[in-house]
Amino acid sequence: MGNLKLFFNFFEDNYNLTNNCKDIIKMKDLFDDFKESDYYFNISKLEKRKYNYNYFCKYFEDNIFFRKYYILGDNNNFPNHIKCYIKINNNND
């Protein structure tokens, strides 16, 4: 599975566009969610080494669908993040 489809499917299944720029998701939180997902669990060890945090951020920075929502942080007080999206609540209670 190519990284475009892998990351895109994960993101679309777990996050919704809100068009509210005050809604943000830190890239670290997004990557942690990805690492806990079935998408990550089902890829090979080689792919897991390849799809690290830096590769993940670079994907969102360069992707035609997501780059307008990706904000590069200053690495100190303002982390890298995606704006205008919120996480879908997947509780089935």
Burial class (CB in 10 A: 0-12, 13-18, 19+), 73: middle
Number of domains in the chain: 1
In a domain, 11, yes or no: yes
Determine the structural domain holding residue 59 and report its residue range: 3-86
- What are the tens digits of pLDDT across the range 65-75? 889 999 988 76
The number of residues in the chain equals: 93
- Cα torsion through 77, 90, 57, 50, rounded to 10: 130
In a domain, 91, yes or no: no
- What are the tens digits of pLDDT across the range 12-60? 999 999 989 999 999 999 999 999 999 999 999 999 999 899 999 999 9
